[in-house]
Structure 1
Amino acid sequence: MNICGCVVHIKPERIAEAETTMASTEGVEVHAKSDDGRLVIVVEDTETRLASEIIMDLHQVPGVISLTLTYHHFEDETAIPRAPLAQSTSTPIGAQFHDQI
């Protein structure tokens, strides 16, 4: 699973159109918009397309000046799930010194 946070700079007069196009694109979520023509979006892999392919296509949306990847997280979904961590029965750090103060 890829999760990509991006900032998109758009011509201010085209922001409404570009926002609508991006919001209707599978794998894209619009999270914030500024008055000067910037959007904060998250792009994720879909079942049919990689996030990187979607990002490349978003560069072609009318009015887009630039699209910058600002955050990326990748997880291998085929990895073996880990067992949950056991509840710790140890004394919290510093607790053993509490009575000595």
Structure 2
Amino acid sequence: MNVCGCLVHAAPDRVDGCAEDMLAMDGVEIHGRSDEGRFVVVVEDTPSLRASETIMALHQIPGVLSVTLTYHHFEDLTDTPAQAPLSSPTQSGAQTHDHL
């Protein structure tokens, strides 16, 4: 799973057109929007495109002035079991700082 949060800035006279173009793209959701042309957008991988490719395509929408990646989360969703750590910090002699 690959999830990216982006801020998209569009020309104020192209806000509606940019919104339509972004929503027409697979893996793109608009979570916030201002009349001045700022969008909060989430982009996810799709079966045919990586999120990074979709973000690059956002740059090509007429009226989009900038796209800024503000959040990224990647998680491997394969069914491999998680491995337990070989030892905990207290077992290996490392100091812990519970008061922090």
Task: Give the match for residue 70 of structure 1.
Answer: 70
| Distance in 2 between residues matched to 1:38 and 1:27, nearest whole Å | 19
Displacement of 1:80 in angstroms is 2.0
Q: Over residues 8-44 of structure 1, what are the superposed CA-to-partner deviations in whole Å (9 max), with x where a residue is unaligned?
A: 0000100100001101110000111012110110000
- Paired residues, number: 82
User: Which one-letter code corresponds to 1:7 in the other structure?
Assistant: L
Give the secondary structure class of the aligned counterpart of 1:19: helix
Task: Give the match for residue 44 of structure 2.
Answer: 44
| Distance in 1 between residues matched to 2:56 and 2:7, nearest whole Å | 13
What is the root-mean-square deviation in Å for CA atoms of aligned residues?
Answer: 1.1
Alignment of 1:1-101 (within 5 A): 1-81=1-81
Q: Over residues 30-79 of structure 1, what are the superposed CA-to-partner deviations in whole Å (9 max), with x where a residue is unaligned?
A: 11101211011000000111000000011000000000000000001115
| Distance in 1 between residues matched to 2:46 and 2:21, nearest whole Å | 17
Give structure 1 stretches of 5+ with no counterpart: 83-101
Q: Structure 1 length normalisation: TM-score? A: 0.77
Task: Give the match for residue 99 of structure 1.
Answer: none
Q: Structure 2 length normalisation: TM-score? A: 0.78
Whose Rg is larger? 1
Identity %: 57
Give structure 2 stretches of 5+ with no counterpart: 83-100
User: Which one-letter code corresponds to 1:48 in the other structure?
Assistant: S
| Distance in 1 between residues matched to 2:38 and 2:66, nearest whole Å | 10
